[in-house]
């Protein structure tokens, strides 16, 4: 029984450790992104998903957008809503800079003011959460 309890506890710790924290500019936790692309709010309720193929879904598994391999972000109708450049620059569909996702996970608006932190999260995923889609 003790071994079973330890195994369950270890699994729980490993599962929790795989989630990366999404924070506001003031370092308050606003959500989590798990390594499998599940997006959770601060109460750990699932609010969306980013699938391995780049499909972005809401909590009901309805497709709300796509991340293309070239960094293009599209809505569910395949219209381009923005771009994530390899240097972390985030642009809207008109190629105007709307923000930045730094190597260390700091997320900045176009004026370089910090709006959040997403350390350990793929740049495209951070851009989706902070700039392109609302997950409630």
Sequence spans of domains, the chain: 20-132
Q: Are 109 and 116 in contact (CB under 8 A)?
A: no
Rounded CA separation 106/103 (Å) = 7
Which of the four pLDDT bands, split at 50, 70 and 90, describes residue 13? very low
Residue spans of beta strands (DSSP E) within 1-136: 20-24, 29-33, 38-41, 46-50, 55-58, 63-67, 72-75, 80-84, 89-92, 97-101, 106-109, 114-117
Which of the four pLDDT bands, split at 50, 70 and 90, describes residue 18? low
Summarize pLDDT for 103-130 with one digit per residue, the tens: 999 999 999 999 999 999 999 999 999 9
Higher pLDDT pick, 38 / 4: 38
Helix (H, G, I), strand (E, B) or coil at 92: strand
């Amino acid at each position: 029984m003790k071994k079973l309890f330890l195994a369950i506890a270890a699994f729980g710790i490993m599962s929790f450790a795989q989630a990366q924290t999404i924070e506001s500019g003031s370092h308050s936790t606003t959500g989590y992104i798990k390594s499998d692309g599940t997006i959770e709010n601060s109460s750990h309720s699932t609010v969306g998903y980013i699938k391995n193929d780049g499909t972005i879904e809401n909590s009901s598994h309805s497709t709300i957008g796509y991340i293309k391999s070239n960094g293009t972000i599209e809505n569910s109708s395949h219209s381009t809503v923005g771009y994530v450049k390899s240097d972390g620059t985030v642009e809207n569909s008109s190629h105007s800079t709307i923000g930045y996702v730094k190597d260390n996970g700091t997320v900045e608006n176009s004026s370089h003011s910090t709006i959040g932190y997403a350390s350990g999260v793929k740049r495209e995923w951070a851009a989706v959460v902070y700039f392109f889609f609302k997950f409630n």
